[in-house]
Amino acid sequence: MNIKNLNYKISLAVTILFFLSSGIVYFVKNKHYSVDNFLNKANSYFINENFLQSARYYRKLISMGFVDENVYINISNSLIKLGDYKKAKDYLKEALNNHPSSELYYLLGYTYYAKLQISFLHEDAEESIKYLQKSIEMDKKNKLSYRLIGQIYEQSKNFEYARIWYKKALIEHIENISEFYGFIAYTYFEESRWDEAIQYYKKAIDDNKNYISAYCSMGEIYRIKKDFVNAEQYYKQVISINPDYVLPYYKIGNIYYEQENYQEAVKWYQKGLEKEANNNMINYYIGMSYKKLNMVPEAVRYLKTAAYCGNDDAVEELRSMIKTF
């Protein structure tokens, strides 16, 4: 390449002109961008769950030098929803360098937890726990961090460690202790340790008389233990708190179904269908109850509905009924 060559000079001049004009255009465009306008747009997109757009505007804000903890929190949340865990981590670590906080450490732990759901890597679990512990060190009442650590241990079936962290949360007198009694009870439930589970669900209910999930779990435990009277009692308690919740009707129906009291089972399933007509499980069990009562047309009617609503067992049942009849 000879620099005195005219062709080369023209080529170089055009290239330099290209870069210069691009730079000028970039500078002029950026002058007209307003931080407030972008912040409003970013927040609006974030609230409306348009995470692609919100991430775009938050990144622009950061590149414009707008350093705010909420921006880093929101962009990280947006990137987590989009599945870009690496960038979410990078922004959180950048934010932590500027202004460490319990919430940012929690979010970083949550990012590794979200990644863990698809990677199943032990390293991600360890990193998540590490940052969640730092979050707790900075704020001992950060209940979200305790909960997430517990969930990580629950996922790896290490229920004892999960309970240790839930109990630590209780020691710190965090808000909503009934929730954590419920979490502890759940770990015992998963280990089929019914008596301990009942003990903690009762503590949860003592603290929060409207803890529907605890009543449902108690009902389920008593059903498993074949104590149908207590099981029904707890499910009826749920109905008294929230009459529109479909599950207790279904569960009471199942209790009677198990006891082969199909007439009573149908009554409770029908109450459930009043709340949710297209519940595939309720339709299936009503169908099966009518089949046990030798009321075939009614059985077929409900099994068909269950099949339309996606119940595979209902499809199989209808097929076998067609072969039989």
Partner 1 sequence: MFYKNKISFFIVLGIISFILYYFIDQQIVLIGLLNNFIISIGILFFLIIFISFFSSLIMLSVMSAASKIYTKITGKQARYSKKFALWLNFTVMCYIVSFIIFLQSITY
Counting residues that bind partner 1 (by CB under 8 A) gives 30
Judged by CB under 8 A, the residue of 39, 45, 46, 57 near partner 1 is 57
| 46 counts as binding partner 1 under rule CB under 8 A | no
DSSP annotation string for 79-132 = HHHHT-HHHHHHHHHHHHHHS--HHHHHHHHHHHHHHHHHH--HHHHHHHHHHH
| 256 counts as binding partner 1 under rule CB under 8 A | no
Candidate ranges 27-35, 112-120, 231-239, 313-321; the one touching partner 1 (CB under 8 A): 27-35
Which CB, 2 or 294, lies closer to partner 1? 2
Site for partner 1 in 92-131 (CB under 8 A): none
Judged by CB under 8 A, the residue of 38, 45, 105, 146 near partner 1 is 38
Judged by CB under 8 A, the residue of 68, 82, 130, 292 near partner 1 is 82
Residue 105 has which token pair?
Answer: 């450490």
Rounded Cα distance, 111 and 133, in Å: 14
Judged by CB under 8 A, the residue of 43, 60, 161, 236 near partner 1 is 60
| 22 counts as binding partner 1 under rule CB under 8 A | yes
- What residue spans of the chain are helical by DSSP H? 6-31, 35-47, 51-63, 69-82, 85-98, 102-119, 122-138, 143-155, 159-171, 177-190, 194-207, 212-224, 228-241, 247-258, 262-275, 280-292, 296-308, 312-324
Residue 34, phi-psi category: left (phi > 0), alpha (psi -120 to 50), beta (remainder)? beta
| 229 counts as binding partner 1 under rule CB under 8 A | no
Which CB, 15 or 210, lies closer to partner 1? 15
For residue 88, which amino acid is it? A
User: Interface residues with partner 1 (CB under 8 A)?
Assistant: 1, 5, 7-8, 10-11, 14-15, 18, 21-22, 25-26, 29-30, 33, 38, 52, 55-57, 59-60, 63, 79, 82-84, 86-87
